[in-house]
Chain A
Amino acid sequence: MIKNFFPNKILSLNNRLIFVLIIMMIFIVIIGFIYALFISPPDYVQGDSVRIMYVHVPSSFISLGCFAFIGLASISNLIFKTKFVSLMAKSLAPVGLVFTLVSVVTGSLWGKPTWGIWWAWDARLTSMIILLCFYIAYILTWKLIDSFERANKISSFIGIIGLFNLPVIKYSVDWWSTLHQPSSITLTSAPTIHYTMLIPLFIMLFGMAIYSLIIFLMRYKTEIMKFKLNKKKNYK
């Protein structure tokens, strides 16, 4: 499984796989949208603004997941000096950044009709903004530093430091009193979301996860090609 992500394998990755994934993604997202917008019921308090959740929650999951991968890849890079893992992290970062932005913007759109304000500096929202800053810093180090070795090292440090932020985001709603509500889906107890609303949530999560995978695969392939080209240039 892991072997398939090695640089030489990924270059021979069939474009047909990406094509199949795109078809799958479009199909699932359309079903998800129909379910989220028409089939699922409105909430008993929030009414129709609950439908923002079907985009907000999956994007938050994906943005946290992507950074978790970047952080772990950074650790593995500093210990084992595995270059292809940092190239994977580098290709995943823009996906995570976009979904963090989506999460923040949709959350803000939901906050106005529900709380009465667009933004509050509570622990959950602030830690999410910190995550956004880590994404930007991570991407910028790759963009601004020309030498691969140096960019690799500095971005790995940023990835590891940013890793500490993830449990803070996750548990901020339990540790402190925040305006943001506590988690509805936890590992230890039954979800407090009615199943008619859980179904579109998971369909959307699945669709958006496939979307992330597609973007990741395309970027990763490009990054590997660029890396090899640069290597060749340096030999001449």
Chain B
Amino acid sequence: MLTKKVKSRVVFLILSIVSVSIIIFFILRSLEENVIYFFSPTEIYNKSSISPNKKIRVGGLVKEGSSTKKDNGINFIITDLKNEIIVTYSGLVPNLFSEGKGVVAEGKLRDKKYFIADKILAKHDENYMPPEVSQALDKAN
């Protein structure tokens, strides 16, 4: 059924698809630093050097019991359950910001443990449920 012409086209296409995939893989690999939207506290901790004037984003969970309101903002701790970063922020806090939930903070690192944010974003997780179910789950725990 397959003529010689068709066969050669198949081989050509497969070869080019494989080679393009490999090229794309390496491009994305080398761009990893730019592709990720935020660093986790552990990634910050493992960095060899930090530049205090460069804008970066740090993301993770807001540690339970860590957030304290100040007059025009909030202080809290971002954790990935291994390492932690203290964040201080002044400005409007998004509605969905809450302890134990995901957060991404944009701003500058003072040092590896201290971050000054000028913007915070609430990160939503993949769980969707009605309030009653969530209350029932909380009770069960």
Contact = CB atoms under 8 A, between A and B. Distances in A.
Interface residues of A, number: 38
A114 interface: yes
Given A116-B94, A123-B36, A176-B32, A181 B126 contact: yes
Q: Interface majority SS on A: helix, strand, loop or mixed?
A: loop
B38 A177 contact: yes
Given A115-B122, A161-B20, A79 B6 contact: yes
A145 to B, nearest CB: 21
A53 B128 CA distance: 10
Contacts of A115: 94, 96, 121-124
A94 to B, nearest CB: 26
Interface residues of B, number: 40
A120 B121 contact: yes
A46 B128 CA distance: 9
Interface in A175-192: 176-179, 181-184, 192
B125 interface: yes
Interface string B38-59: 1110000000000000000001
B130 A42 contact: yes
Given A53-B128, A113-B95, A44 B133 contact: yes
Contacts of B140: none
Nearest to A164: B24
B69 to A, nearest CB: 17
Contacts of B114: none
A79 B28 CA distance: 29
A117 interface: yes
Nearest first, the 7 closest Cβ-Cβ pairs linking A and B are A41-B130, A116-B94, A44-B134, A122-B37, A194-B129, A193-B128, A184-B126
Interface of A: 41-46, 50, 53, 75, 78-80, 113-117, 120-123, 160-161, 164, 168, 176-179, 181-184, 192-194, 196-197
Interface of B: 6, 9-10, 13, 17, 20-21, 24, 28, 32, 35-40, 59, 94-96, 98, 101, 104, 119-135
